Amino acid sequence: MKPPKQNLISRIGHSVIDSIWIMGVATRFLMQVLWRSGTSWRRFGLIIREIYASGVLSLVIIIVSGLFVGMVLGLQGYQTLQTYGSEQALGVLVALSLVRELGPVVAALLFASRAGSAITAEIGLMKTTEQLKAMEMMAVDPIARVIAPRFWGGVISMPLLAAIFSIVGVFGGYLVGVVLIGVDEGSFWSQMQAAVDVREDVLNGVIKSVVFGFTITAIALFEGFDAMPTAEGISRATTRTVVTSSLAILALDFILTAFMFRGV
Amino acid sequence: MERATLDFWVGLFVVAGLAALLGLALKVGNMSSFATTQSYEVKADFNNIGGLKIRAPVKSAGVVVGRVSDIHFDNKTFEAIVTLKLDSRYRFPKDTSAAIMTSGLLGEQYLALDAGGDDKNLAGGDTIKITQSAVVLESLISQFLYNKASDSPKADSAPAAASTSGVPSHE
């Protein structure tokens, strides 16, 4: 639906109206998913299948990257803290940066590229091969049967993955800091425990990862559902999922951080 | 994939995720921050609290016995009112004194309680009477310089007195 000839002003107006329209469609889509997810909660097997697809299959990349991020934090943090003679604070540095920021954010970025792209491609192909339409013909609601279980699978998986990422990262920092370099083990853990607050740090990290899981899965599902039903359309939709959700994660992370940690 | 295998892996994943959360709460964070234990609140007025923050530890003899739960400014007395949340396991005499200390040279500030000798104990809502404000580095330095300045005539006379008995001076 492209009008033949336009001047600059009407092109700007066109793109603004288009983007607002897309936002409206996406919101209505999300509302419908939430509204019709009753079936998937009653048939919990559907959600379990999707937790397997987006959660269990992402475990390897999450654990490996968490370990390496933690180990790099241990090395770099030690280098910096050593110059101030406070290398005992390494545990605090590793734990706080993982629990507050890196755990939720990096796990969400990995989740978007590993699970989000897979969801978009799957739904896009279903749309292209008219499987969704076929379901409607059989009076099966594709949103309730296909979309909603994937949505809840992603929302459940994401915080668990972020928590696993953080704990593996802390273990990686421990490996490098205490086992390899030889920071005192007692002060590593005790200073960490004194500085990390369960409600302020851990719970806020969990809230972040729930928000990210919600966002990523919603974007991935909408892009798949909205994809042009061609091979090229699927590839574009997959790319858009990764780009849009990564940007959304970073922007949301800033907003959430500004609200959560503005200093007592 | 077979349903049983699927269930097993998802179950394992969920258990591992919850265990990670629990580990973060217990091993990385410290769950025992008086969330469940009984506590009572005591107030203390300070002229200057320095860099004391909410949730700063309250220590007595070096042991954490509570946390600072609220800090606000009194518009009538122009003093800072600090509310302390103390663990009910610990009871202090009524004439306990409170002081704001710094852990280490440049560390965080905490509130130190020094027990007095009164028979009665502090109860919830009481106010600690004897307080000692935070040491502000600038006023400490200026006081030091002031003392130095007032000391300087003496400092001049001391070598002069020494010189009379020893080597002749240029005076």
Q: How do residues B9-26 score in pLDDT, each as one tens digit?
A: 899 999 999 999 888 888
Cβ–Cβ gap A55/B10 under 8 Å: yes
Q: Which of A33-42, A188-197, B74-83, B151-160 has the lowest mean pLDDT?
A: B151-160
Residues 6+ apart with CB under 8 A from A239: none
For residue A256, give the amino acid letter. Answer: L
Residues of B in contact with A86 (CB under 8 A): none
Please report whether residue A219 resides in a domain. yes
**Partner residue facing A202 (CB), from B16, B29, B55:** B29
Judged against a pLDDT cut of 70, whether residue A248 lies above it is answered with yes
Judged against a pLDDT cut of 60, whether residue A263 lies above it is answered with no
Residue A10 — pLDDT band, cuts 50, 70, 90?
A: confident
Q: Where do the DSSP E strands lie in chain A? A: none
DSSP state at residue B121: B
**Partner residue facing B13 (CB), from A51, A166, A202:** A51
> What value does the mean pLDDT take over residues B117-126?
85
Please report whether residue A167 resides in a domain. yes
Please report whether residue A21 resides in a domain. no
- Residue A104 sits at the chain B interface (C-beta within 8 Å): no
Closest residue in B to A100 (Cα–Cα):
B24
Please give the Cα distance from A93 to A230 (Å, whole number).
48
- A83-97: buried (b, 16+ CB within 10 Å) or exposed (e) per residue? eeeebbbbbbbbbbb
Closest residue in B to A200 (Cα–Cα):
B29
Judged against a pLDDT cut of 90, whether residue B32 lies above it is answered with no
**Partner residue facing B9 (CB), from A52, A167, A168:** A52
Domain count, chain A: 1
**Amino acid B107: pLDDT:** 67
Element (H, E) at A9: helix A8-35
Please give the Cα distance from B162 to A127 (Å, whole number).
102
- Coil, strand or helix at B112: strand
Tell me the pLDDT tens digit for each residue of A61-120. Answer: 999 999 999 999 999 999 998 888 788 889 889 999 999 999 999 999 999 999 999 999
**Partner residue facing B25 (CB), from A56, A194, A198:** A198
Judged against a pLDDT cut of 60, whether residue B156 lies above it is answered with no
pTM over 0.95: no
Closest CA to A107 of A156, A167, A65, A53: A65
Please report whether residue B120 resides in a domain. yes
DSSP state at residue A87: G
In a mutational test of the B interface, the residue from A57, A111, A193 whose CB has the highest number of chain B CBs within 10 Å is A193
What residues does B39 pair with on adjacent strands? B87
Please report whether residue A51 resides in a domain. yes
Please report whether residue B121 resides in a domain. yes
CA of A191 vs chain B CAs: smallest distance (Å): 10
Please give the Cα distance from B57 to B112 (Å, whole number).
9
CA of A29 vs chain B CAs: smallest distance (Å): 28
Please report whether residue B92 resides in a domain. yes
User: How remote is the C-alpha of A48 from its chain's centroid?
Assistant: 18
Closest residue in A to B16 (Cα–Cα):
A164
Please give the Cα distance from A31 to A221 (Å, whole number).
13
- Residue B89 sits at the chain A interface (C-beta within 8 Å): no
Please report whether residue A1 resides in a domain. no
Closest residue in A to B70 (Cα–Cα):
A264
Please report whether residue A24 resides in a domain. no
Please give the Cα distance from B44 to B86 (Å, whole number).
12
The domain in which residue A57 lies consists of: 45-257
Please report whether residue A231 resides in a domain. yes
Cβ–Cβ gap A52/B31 under 8 Å: no
Residue B148 — pLDDT band, cuts 50, 70, 90?
A: confident
Element (H, E) at A211: helix A204-226
Judged against a pLDDT cut of 70, whether residue B77 lies above it is answered with yes
Please give the Cα distance from B86 to B59 (Å, whole number).
10
**Largest pairwise CA distance in chain B:** 106
Please give the Cα distance from B61 to B90 (Å, whole number).
12
- CA dihedral of B92, B97, B102, B105, whole degrees rounded to 10: -110
Please report whether residue B20 resides in a domain. no
Please report whether residue B88 resides in a domain. yes
Residue with tokens 């704001």: B100
- Residue B18 sits at the chain A interface (C-beta within 8 Å): yes
Residues 6+ apart with CB under 8 A from A19: none
Cβ–Cβ gap B10/A51 under 8 Å: yes
- Residue A86 sits at the chain B interface (C-beta within 8 Å): no
Q: Which two tokens stand for residue A87?
A: 């290398």
- Alpha-carbon radius of gyration of chain A: 22
DSSP state at residue B135: P
Residues of A in contact with B55 (CB under 8 A): 197, 264
Residue with tokens 């394992």: B12
CA of A105 vs chain B CAs: smallest distance (Å): 16
> What value does the mean pLDDT take over residues A148-171?
94
Please report whether residue A15 resides in a domain. no
Handedness of CA B88, B89, B94, B97 (dihedral sign): negative
Residues of A in contact with B23 (CB under 8 A): 167
| CA angle in degrees (0–180, nearest 5) for B137-B74-B131 | 50
- Residue A85 sits at the chain B interface (C-beta within 8 Å): no
Please give the Cα distance from A262 to B92 (Å, whole number).
34
The domain in which residue B115 lies consists of: 39-138
Domain count, chain B: 1
Please report whether residue B31 resides in a domain. no
Residues of A in contact with B21 (CB under 8 A): 159-160, 163, 202, 206
